[in-house]
Amino acid sequence: MPANVAPLVDLASFEAAAARLRGVALRTPLLPADAPTDRFPHGIWLKAECLQRVGAFKVRGAFNFVSSLSAEQRAHGLLAPSSGNHAQAVAWAARHFGVPCTVVMPTTVSPAKAAGARRLGATVELVGTTTIERITRADTLAAETGAIVVPPFDDDLIIAGQGTTGMEIMDELPDVATVVVPVGGGGLASGVAAAVKARNPAVRVVCVEPEGAPKLSRAMAHGGPVTLDRTASVADGLLGVRLGTRNWDHLSVLADDVVQVGDGAIRCTMRLLLDRHKLVVEPSGAITYAAVLEGKIPSDGPIAVVLSGGNIEWEGLAAHIADDAMAAAHGAS
C-alpha cells in the first residue's frame, strides 16, 4: 500500500460498528436462492438488505456515524447529500436521536425515496442531478447552520457500518467462496470487501456496476478515481460520477474483480426476485444477482449476493418488470 494511504478499516472497527448497531439495524436474512443446480452446484445465497430498516443497507453506516457524534454535535442537526437511500437512513437516525435533519436529493430522485425521507421527518431539498452538486449544497448548508454532514460513502465510520453486512455473511456462511456486492460511491463495496477479507482473505469479492456508470472499472484502468462525464442506468443508486477516495483506497487492494451489467438484465432479475423469492428489490439492489445469473461471476464454491435495497414505488416497479419494458431493455443492452 502506498505510504500516503491511511490504514484500512480493520476488524476491530467492524466489531465496534456491529456493537453500536445491535438492536438497531436488522440482522437481515441470508436466503438460499432458487438457482439451477447444474449451473451453480455450490449454491447461491441472497443477503436481503432490501428488508433492512428504511429498505436498504444505508442505515448501517448512517447510524454508526451519527451514534459516534457527541450529543452536542448532533443537536446542531444532520445533513445528508443522497440519491435516496442514504437520505432515508440519516433521517431515521435523526429521528432516533430526536434531532433535526435536512437531506439534499437529486431533482430526479424516485418518488418512493423522497417520500420516505419526508415520512421520517426530514426536510427535503432537491438540487441538481450529480453527487458533487448534492455534496456542495450540503457543505454550504453546514457552513450556514452548523449542522453535521453525514457523508454518503467516503468516510471510515460509514465504511465500518456498511461492512457489518459482510460480517453477517461470514458468520452465517463461513464456507462462502465469493461475495458479490454493488458499487456506486463505494461505501458498501469497500466495507464488505474489508470485513470479508479481514475474516478470510481467501474469499473473492466481486463488485458490480452498471454499464452506464463504470466508475470502478475506469478507476482500475486509470490507477485512481476518475470523474465520469455522465452516467445513465435504471440503477439510480449507483449513478454517482466518482468513487470516494477512502473507498478507492480499500477497493484498489481488496476487490478481486469488477463486472458490468446492462439495464435489461437488471429488470429481468427484479422480476425473477419478485416471482420466485417474493422480494421487492430496486434496480441498484438487483444488479448483483443479475451479474451472477448472466454467468459473469464464476465461483468454485458458495456465492453470497448482496441485494442492497428495495426502495421503489409500485408504479416504478410495475414499469420495470413489464414484459414489453424488459424486451425493449434487452434490445438496447
* 58 is an active site residue: yes
Which triple of cell numbers denotes residue 138? 450540503
C-alpha–C-alpha distance, residues 119 and 313, integer Å: 14
C-alpha–C-alpha distance, residues 37 and 130, integer Å: 41
Phi/psi of residue 169, each to 5°?
-60, -45
What ranges make up the beta strands (E) of the chain? 30-32, 44-48, 78-81, 101-105, 123-126, 148-149, 178-182, 204-210, 257-261, 303-307
Q: Is 53 helix (H, G, I), strand (E, B) or coil?
A: helix
Measured from the Cβ of residue 168, the count of other Cβ atoms closer than 10 Å reads 22
Half-sphere CA count of 16, side-chain side, radius 13 A: 14
C-alpha–C-alpha distance, residues 138 and 129, integer Å: 14
Measured from the Cβ of residue 234, the count of other Cβ atoms closer than 10 Å reads 24
Three-state SS for 77-134 is CEEEECCCHHHHHHHHHHHHHCCCEEEEECCCCCHHHHHHHHHCCCEEEECCCCHHHH
Confirm if 77 and 145 have CB atoms less than 8 A apart.
Answer: yes
Q: Which of 13, 83, 252, 308 is catalytic?
A: 308
Q: Which of 13, 47, 58, 83 is catalytic?
A: 58
User: What residues are annotated to the active site?
Assistant: 58, 308
